[in-house]
Amino acid sequence: MHQKCPMMNARRLYRNSIVMTSPQALVLASHSDSRRALLDKLQLAYTSLAPGIDETSLPEEAPESLVRRLSEAKARKIAERMPEAIVIGSDQVACYEGRALGKPGNPESALQQLRTFSGKQVNFLSGLCVMNPSRGTCHLAVETCLVEFRALSDDQIRAYLQIDRPFQCAGAFKSEGLGISLVRSIRCDDPNVLVGLPLIRLIDFLAREGVTVLG
């Protein structure tokens, strides 16, 4: 599902001289290693900046509304600082029984999340916002991925947490790491959704702003 949203010091720079990009600067509103690794796949020059926003959910806020709002808020925060750039914002939550579960932050919360998911199906929602203030355009989407977890013992969960340490990952697991051993199946149109940046939708949004991956 996608829609348009209303408009109103770089630490890391990635460059590739082979692939053509837009003359506008491209900025990822995140310092997440996972998101940067995903965006690196597109071989586009970009800057990564942390937006530093409050990610607390609003009272009675639905998970889909939460990731959409935070994705836009992250992009908008950076766009205010770099109004000539094209900014990418993204956010992710795990959705279980209608509740949004974000980053556990510590081993005990991570254990509790994975204990809850054991033998269950969990939806992972990734929001995406591409904002171009110079053109007054903004594109929003929320992509979903359904994950079925294996039945997990506490010993298995603890062993996993010691290795991957996924305390800053929604749902407390990294599908790109040993976390793949925790799941029975993954169903989604874009496997990157589960890692936290929907690349297929991102390519579409960037193309609308004149940024092409393959020239």
Alpha carbons 28 and 87: distance in angstroms, whole number = 6
First-to-last C-alpha distance (Å) of the chain: 26
Alpha carbons 142 and 169: distance in angstroms, whole number = 18
> Can you say how many angstroms the Cα of residue 165 is from the centroid of all Cα atoms in its chain?
18
Q: Would you call 190 a catalytic residue per the annotation?
A: no
- Which of 40, 54, 91, 155 does the annotation list as catalytic? 91
**Positive or negative, the Cα torsion across 173, 175, 180, 186?**
positive
Catalytic residue ranges: 91
